[in-house]
Amino acid sequence: MRKSGLIILSLMLVTGLMLTACGGNKTNSNTGAAATNNGTNKETAAPTTDEPVTITLAGWGASPEEQDLLNQTLKEFETKYPNVKVNYEVIADQYMDVIKTRLIGGEGPDVFYLDAFEAPGLIEANVLEPLDSYVTPEFDVADFEQPMVDAFKKDNVSYGFPKDFSTLAMFYNKKDFSEAGITTPPTTWDELKADAIKLTKKEGDKVTRYGFGVAPELARQMFMIQAFGGKVSDEEGKATFASAEALPGLQLVVDMHNVDKSSGEPKEVGAGWGGEMFGQGKASIVFEGNWAIPFLESNYKELDYATAELPTVNGTKGTMAFTVAYVMNKQSKKKEAAWQLISFLTGKDGMKTWTSKGFALPTRKSVAQELGYDKDELRGAIVAGASYATPWQAASTLPTITNNFNNQFVDTFMGNSKLEDAMKKAEDVANKEIEAAK
């Protein structure tokens, strides 16, 4: 007892010491940042601080090759700004939950990744630093693809700048296509439907290869809701995905699975996601983004595939766009250095290094042009989608809406309930939860 008491006591002492040490550190750098943070001449003031600062940057994990590229970009930054050290941390799982909890605890990173999907919620909570006062003319905001910047704006104030993006494109297996006698990729949903039936392979009752591999979740189906004029949510943040305009698009997705039996989700064939399903040859067509290209290159080298823009639905072009920004923690004590990092990473030089190998696509038009991705054989279709894509974002209530949508949509997709009933139920529950949380 006595021994363990002593151990605990000494542990507490050590923790106490460490805490005070941290605190001291923070106040120091605080004054440092405050000194440089006054008024107009930030650009010139920043490099004169010779006191070295360390800022933390948090993001989620990526493939080793992508991680190397980020490290290289960060190294370039540190060479350019020798007094700023970047401490990069990877949050491996449940990224947003961890970030939110750390922000509440006052231990948030100075700069972190933010998915457009979660941006409205965090902006509303007032935890992000508005960036407009930091922006200089050289940063050239107009160079960004407009929808990607808008995803991180509220009331015309920018809270983040997009580091990269991807839209969904149609990946199709060339070998499967020629075996089935299909010469060109489908350009309308009707063609996709017909082709998927031809491409589906069965052994007895068991499907060994689906014509179309689909992800039955809101993040991938939002543009289908919009194809007939439907909307995911209204101005007040209420769910509206069960409206008469929203259902026809979703019905197309469900029918391919339950009527034609020509589409399947990755889980049904034991794959983790669409790219894996496609790589394993268990789906001839999938809708995936840029991230699938390096994955297929490193895991399924011999796969013979091509990409095309998504087929039109109801005569209109549509796809989803996913984008991620660098944002600054409002509580950061090193805002000047944090801005230096953000402006470098989303600036022309940093973005060029970061997107140079095609793991991610540049959100700056000048960089995209320089790297020539719009003419790239595989990435061209993904870039082309940017002009008409639906960004994966809605009201700040989107997390609640998504949770309820996914929960019920899978059930319909599996053929356990009628689409209309399931969506009505999901919409009601979501709106009840939104109302109750007010």
Partner 1 sequence: MTQVSTFKKKLRNNVTAYLFLLPTILVLGTFLFLPVFYSLYLSGHKVNLLGDVSYKWVGFNNFTRMAGDERAWIALKNTASFALFVVPLQTAFAILLAVILNAKLRFKNFFRIVFFMPTVTSSAVLSLIFMWIYNSNGLLNRVLEFVGLHGFNWLGDPAVALKAIMLMNIWSTAPFFMVVFLAALQDIPDALYESAMLDGAGGFRRFISITLPMIKPATFFTVVMGIIGTFQLFDQSYIFSAGSGGPNNSTLTVALLIYQYAFKNLDFGYASALAVMLAAVIMIVTLIQRKLFSEEKLN
List, in sequence order, every residue forming a beta bridge with 154; answer none if it has no partner: 157
CA distance 135 to 325: 15
DSSP character for 217?
A: S
By CB under 8 A, is residue 104 in contact with partner 1? yes
Q: How many Cα atoms within 13 Å fall on the side-chain side of residue 265? A: 15
State which residue, 49 or 403, has the beta carbon closest to partner 1: 403
Strand runs labelled E in 224-294? 263-264, 283-288
Residues 363, 148 contacting (CB under 8 angstroms): yes
| Binding positions for partner 1, 189-228, rule CB under 8 A | none
For residue 52, the minimal CB distance to partner 1 (Å) is 30
Residue 148, amino acid:
M
Strand runs labelled E in 8-83? 53-60
According to CB under 8 A, which one of 40, 126, 156, 184 is a site residue for partner 1? Answer: 126
Query: Mutual orientation of helices 218-227 and 398-413 as an angle, nearest 10°?
Result: 80
According to CB under 8 A, which one of 27, 28, 31, 101 is a site residue for partner 1? Answer: 101
For residue 206, the minimal CB distance to partner 1 (Å) is 9
DSSP strand pairing (111-115 vs 53-60): parallel
Our separate counts of H helices and E strands in the chain read 18, 14
Interface segment toward partner 1; rule CB under 8 A; list 14-22, 53-61, 243-251, 403-411? 403-411
According to CB under 8 A, which one of 45, 135, 306, 429 is a site residue for partner 1? Answer: 429
Interface segment toward partner 1; rule CB under 8 A; list 74-82, 96-104, 289-297, 298-306? 96-104
CA distance 23 to 386: 45
Mask: binding to partner 1, 127-146, rule CB under 8 A, as x and -? x-------------------
Interface segment toward partner 1; rule CB under 8 A; list 109-117, 134-142, 169-177, 405-413? 405-413
Query: Mutual orientation of helices 419-437 and 398-413 as an angle, nearest 10°?
Result: 160
Residues 210, 281 contacting (CB under 8 angstroms): no
Total chain residues near partner 1 (CB under 8 A): 37
By CB under 8 A, is residue 92 in contact with partner 1? no
Mask: binding to partner 1, 243-282, rule CB under 8 A, as x and -? ----------------------x-xxxx------------
Neighbours of 21 (CB within 10 A): 10
| Binding positions for partner 1, 319-348, rule CB under 8 A | 330
Q: Which residue, chain included where needed, has tokens 């010139």?
A: 44
For residue 274, the minimal CB distance to partner 1 (Å) is 15
By CB under 8 A, is residue 3 in contact with partner 1? no
- Residues of this chain that bind partner 1 (CB under 8 A): 1-2, 5, 8-9, 12, 94, 97, 100-101, 103-104, 122, 125-127, 265, 267-270, 330, 399-400, 403, 406-408, 410-411, 414, 416, 429, 432-433, 436-437
